[in-house]
Copies of this chain bind each other. A is one copy, B any other.
Amino acid sequence: QQNGQAQDLEDPWQDEEYFGSYGTLKLHLEMLLDQSRTEAYRQVVLNNRDFLRDKVVLDLGCGTGIISLFCAQLAQPAKVFAVEASSMAHYTRQLVKQNGCEDVVSVLQGRAEHIQLPHKVDVLVSEWMGNCLLFEFMVEAVLQVRQRWLAEGGVMWPSSAALLLVPCQAHSYYTESMSFWKNPYGLDFSPLQPLAQQEFFSKPKFSHILEPHNCLSVPSVVLNLNMYTLTVEDLEEMAGQFSFCVNKPGDFHGFCAWFSVGFDSRQAGGDAVELNTGPFSEPTHWKQTLFMLDSPVSVQQGDSISGSIVLRRNPAWRRHMSVTLNWTCRTGTEDDCKASSVGTKTFPMWR
């Protein structure tokens, strides 16, 4: 199935697997235990209490309903529609009742594309972000619902989303997965290195924790999405450029990616909220995503690493994509270049 072809796909969205996993508590617990994530949404509601009065809110993919409950308890919306496709919806209803919010919050179990509402909504809030921002492409459901149900002038939360990138060191991962085979227990296991490269470096490593000191440069925004104007078609292929200045000597093992999202405030003097999942912010359950080069490149302070990143949505498996990185690593200036190396690599994510 790992290499399944488009033609024999029964369910290119893998919905059974996808929504099935959200029917278990484990994933919801992980998200709720993620305080950076949950407190960010709570803060958005708090910073927009006045604005939210008498508004109609749609919380898409509400899970346990925590964002809807924040709205109902911390502000005075007219109505919150909490939409959840997985079987968690059954419990979400109980939680709404338990917290005395059943007059304000209506839980609707169903797919985003099938929901029916009595009228348009003023606010569309959702926690749709995945690894490398887009993975699993829940964002498509958000965009479809925006198109269909968000009133003219309504608010999107998040309002903007960015993908960030940095060239980095990953000594311990490299050592454990590649150098290890050179001489374990006095033996020569190097014939396994090509297999290790294929198994550990051909796909990105999810859940990587990038220590700040392993960043070889200041991170850079490579994609910037406006959640009011982004379209489903845009998602098919998204490209960005980067040009990093190496700020310390080290081993360039790969690139690390993460996202940040912004929530505009709609009330006078209200602060915007940012949820940043990068190495300089509080850790989140998303952690970071590591893209390993096949071999490390030794770099010096002042070197430059420039190139491009392209995210291509899988035409068959609609929750998957590939990430192509092109880079040139230069010592010296562009005009007086002493040495350079170029590379390109495409990482399926996950197929």
Contact = CB atoms under 8 A, between A and B. Distances in A.
Contact of A187 (B99, B186, B188): B99
Given A64-B192, A73-B186, A91-B191, A199 B26 contact: yes
A66 B199 contact: no
A185 interface: yes
Interface in A83-118: 91, 94-95, 98-99
A55 to B, nearest CB: 21
Contacts of A94: 191
Among A64, A69, A187, chain B packs the most CB atoms within 10 A around the CB of A187
- Kindly state the interface size class of chain A when it binds its partner: 35 or more
Contacts of A189: 64, 95, 98
Interface stretch (A150-158, A176-184, A236-244, A301-309): A176-184
B98 A33 contact: no
Given A33-B180, A199-B24, A187 B91 contact: no
Given A64-B192, A66-B185, 20 more contacts: A25-B192, A25-B195, A25-B199, A25-B200, A26-B199, A26-B200, A29-B180, A32-B180, A32-B184, A33-B176, A33-B180, A38-B185, A69-B187, A91-B191, A95-B187, A95-B188, A98-B189, A98-B190, A98-B191, A99-B188
A272 interface: no
A172 to B, nearest CB: 12
B176 A29 contact: yes
A73 B187 CA distance: 9
A333 to B, nearest CB: 42
| Residue of A177, A184, A191 with most partner-chain B CB within 10 A | A191
- Count identical subunits in the complex: 2
Contact of A195 (B39, B91, B99): B91
B176 A42 contact: no
A136 to B, nearest CB: 22
A196 interface: yes
A41 to B, nearest CB: 10
A187 B177 CA distance: 43
A177 B28 CA distance: 11
A95 B181 CA distance: 11
A95 B29 contact: no
Contacts of A98: 188-191
Contacts of A196: 25, 29
A195 B90 CA distance: 12
A-B complex: 5 closest residue pairs judged by Cβ atoms: A94-B191, A25-B199, A98-B188, A98-B191, A25-B195
Contacts of A176: 29, 33
23 contacts: A24-B199, A25-B195, A25-B196, A25-B199, A25-B200, A26-B200, A29-B180, A32-B185, A33-B176, A33-B180, A39-B185, A42-B185, A66-B184, A66-B185, A66-B187, A70-B185, A95-B187, A95-B188, A95-B189, A95-B191, A98-B191, A99-B187, A99-B188
Nearest to A28: B192
Nearest to A94: B191
A187 B96 CA distance: 10
A184 B196 CA distance: 42
